[in-house]
Structure 1
């Protein structure tokens, strides 16, 4: 009997330890993005919808500006088992910004302007629908431009005294003509020289529904369908569209969920330098 028990213990010790069903790394915060890893052939659902999973088990999730405190990731494992993994999302507070002196036409568009705006919106929505199997999103991102941050994600803008929708991106002040670099590998999904609000506009798709947008550009240096690598110069900073001065608006989306790109990059180099001199 003792020999049987000892043999059973040895057999158990020799069995492979099951791998962790889910790992999740990133920013579990409103406006954040996280990259998950599951066993190959696992199906992932987030907030009731299926999420693309790469052949090696990578997937990406995004959390909106006002995401609820808890969301659920549902895994359908290759074994047939189903696991539920609750995710706690940290709450943020946001700044209020006032911008005055804008032309009334830019704040309250005419019927003719609205027709153009709706066409712009349709083009952007189509670009953000892409669900490409590439996993460019998994590489570390870099700043597309360095400079003073003049606008932050999630802030509420009041234009000429009228509250508008929140600001979904980061504004980086820089002179017209400053090179804009691709922060990660991707494929250009939209290139438009003159949108009503955003002026010269680029969208780069990084796979699995994650995309970045670049607005108010002076000049576009790439075209739709073009493959870009991290660090490639894709455009020049400008002051086109609805702006009060030259800067880059850098935004990020997971499909139609607007994210904060500044959460994916190191601190702005200029900001670090300024801190050292204070």
Structure 2
């Protein structure tokens, strides 16, 4: 009896030394990645000191932008005070860089009036991205915004350097499709922005999926939803077009975690199969 008591006591002591709240992560930790996590219900989570929303089931989302590098520190504190710290090594990726020289200045730098408009529009979109809605729509299972056979015509992370001046890297995935092709919401959520005429992206819709995750649909030929509308996965929210700065009909699709732009081609597979 005494031996059994000692064995049980030792087992309890060993268990208490384990990081009971160490999270399970789904998705590769790499540049441009979205990663789903699960910890103890009631735990708190931070990423490099930034609080991360955790739902009642212990689920959370983190993301890494195109230029993230080195390590990130994920800290979890369980409801009983137990703590786990995980160092995440962010895997680098190669991006397509194109250099074009000899262009007229007006093709490289917009005039002051346009710059003022662009900055105002960018600020409005950035404010939308900072919303931290608690609804767990992001965990409900996602779908592609266009048919799976649609041709990809532009990839995340590619960049042009014009006359030696780096332009902003491409922040999403482009799908080339005929004008009028229906565009579906990739997941459930609330329409956070519906704009008819943004300078770069033309008719544009953003959907808030909760936990800081937003999807964006740009260059649309029409918009079928309004700000504040609740949408379901696959619901038509507009149609492919060529509005804004577009050379032909296509859908520019983006996904973000707060201000971090993520790669749709790596993020969507994680969300389509959320590992529930």
Give structure 1 regions of 4+ aligned residues with deviation exceeding 3 angstroms. Answer: 7-15, 17-20, 97-100, 102-107, 158-163
Rounded to whole Å, the distance in 1 between the matches of 2:164 and 2:248 is 19
Q: How far off is 1:127 after superposition? A: 1.0
Rounded to whole Å, the distance in 2 between the matches of 1:240 and 1:105 is 21
> RMSD of the alignment, in Å?
2.6
The answer to whether the 8 A contact 1:69-1:89 is kept is yes
Rounded to whole Å, the distance in 1 between the matches of 2:6 and 2:50 is 43
Aligned pairs for 1:148-187 (under 5 A) are 148-158=151-161, 163-187=166-190
Q: How far off is 1:243 after superposition? A: 1.2
Q: How far off is 1:199 after superposition? A: 0.5
Rounded to whole Å, the distance in 1 between the matches of 2:162 and 2:200 is 13
Residue 133 (str. 1) matches residue 131 (str. 2): no
Q: How far off is 1:217 after superposition? A: 0.8
Q: Secondary structure of the residue that 1:184 maps to in structure 2?
A: coil
Structure 1 residues 161 and 239, CA gap change in structure 2 (3 angstroms): farther
Residue 6 (str. 1) matches residue 9 (str. 2): no
Equivalent position of 1:272 in the other structure: none
Give the alignment's TM-score, normalised by structure 1: 0.86
| Runs of 5+ consecutive residues of structure 1 not aligned to the other structure | 267-278
Rounded to whole Å, the distance in 2 between the matches of 1:84 and 1:189 is 34
Equivalent position of 2:272 in the other structure: none
Rounded to whole Å, the distance in 1 between the matches of 2:236 and 2:108 is 32
Over residues 93-133 of structure 1, what are the superposed CA-to-partner deviations in whole Å (9 max), with x where a residue is unaligned? 01135799x99766422121122112211210121111001
Equivalent position of 2:260 in the other structure: 257
Structure 1 residues 165 and 14, CA gap change in structure 2 (3 angstroms): closer
How many residues are matched? 263
| Runs of 5+ consecutive residues of structure 2 not aligned to the other structure | 270-276
Q: Secondary structure of the residue that 2:254 maps to in structure 1?
A: strand
Over residues 14-67 of structure 1, what are the superposed CA-to-partner deviations in whole Å (9 max), with x where a residue is unaligned? 99x675531111131110011111112211110111111112211100011111
Equivalent position of 2:206 in the other structure: 203
The answer to whether the 8 A contact 1:106-1:242 is kept is no
